[in-house]
Structure 1
């Protein structure tokens, strides 16, 4: 059985991998209490985004849905595949297309906050009641102030 990871890009307007992405998001939501978006919101945002996907043995193991301005709407890596550099590679793929990358992360999501901090993202502000369930968020940014391509290249060498 091959353990190669295939990189795929889903163009805006496509449904490719949307069901698999929803299932992965829901698995993470059940385990960790994050990524709590409603199905209609998720699928609409997914379809409007460019989505970078990593697939291993025909299974979606990670994805990043990104708006045209470099805002990451969703970033998810299968729990069983964490620690393999997939999240870092997804962010690097986004960095290939954008001078800066932004996203929101739940203030209570320590895993995500540590991950983004490790990549060099900076917390720009806190937003109370950002999420539909009343959860608070941090707005994070990587790039512009420093060369994002250089920063990601350095990151990938670690």
Structure 2
């Protein structure tokens, strides 16, 4: 699939359900293909509507396509982070985390202990595992609680994974 280089960044405030259906559909495609992002629809849509969402959108002639999104709480905790598999390895996940870090003094999240691609991604950005939580997920899966490391400033960390810096 050819990928356009024109990707718009949007910030969607809490209470706005813009792109919620597109985000659900993207999350579900990833869940079916990779076995991650296993949230129930009501949980997902409620959390999405309460979150600030950073969305990456590819504009089209008649419509637009959601490339990826990060839904966050007010404290910088990433509830959901997803990038369309057709757009991965282009820095979009890093761009989403950078947007979150730009607006918050700390960035945290959970990741399944078995989700090596996600753990590798977060580690590459400087996240550190703070603790393991057994039976964290509804399906009794275990999780790591991750924090963007505090040994250096967020600005320094961000400059490591942002293109052109």
Say whether the fold is shared (TM-score over 0.5): yes
In the TM superposition, what whole-angstrom CA distance separates every residue of 1:40-90 from its partner, at most 9, and x where no partner exists?
A: 000000000000000013100100001000000000000111001000000
Report if aligned partners of 1:52, 1:65 keep a CA contact under 8 Å in 2: yes
Q: What does 1:58-73 align with in structure 2 at a 5 Å threshold? A: 58-73=64-79
Detail structure 1 runs of 4+ shifted over 2 Å in the superposition: 143-146
CA RMSD of aligned residues (A): 1.4
Partner of 2:34: 32
Measure, in 1, the Cα distance between the counterparts of 2:146 and 2:122.
Answer: 8
User: Unaligned 5+ residue runs, structure 2?
Assistant: none
Asked if residue 136 in structure 1 is aligned to residue 142 in structure 2, the reply is yes
Q: What does 1:4-83 align with in structure 2 at a 5 Å threshold? A: 4-57=6-59, 58-83=64-89
Asked if residue 102 in structure 1 is aligned to residue 104 in structure 2, the reply is no
In the TM superposition, what whole-angstrom CA distance separates every residue of 1:75-134 from its partner, at most 9, and x where no partner exists?
A: 000011100100000000001111110000001111100000000000000000000000
Equivalent pairs, count = 158
Measure, in 2, the Cα distance between the counterparts of 1:149 and 1:96.
Answer: 8
In the TM superposition, what whole-angstrom CA distance separates every residue of 1:7-42 from its partner, at most 9, and x where no partner exists?
A: 111100001000000000000000010000000000
Please, what TM-score do these two structures have when normalized by structure 2?
A: 0.92
Asked if residue 113 in structure 1 is aligned to residue 119 in structure 2, the reply is yes
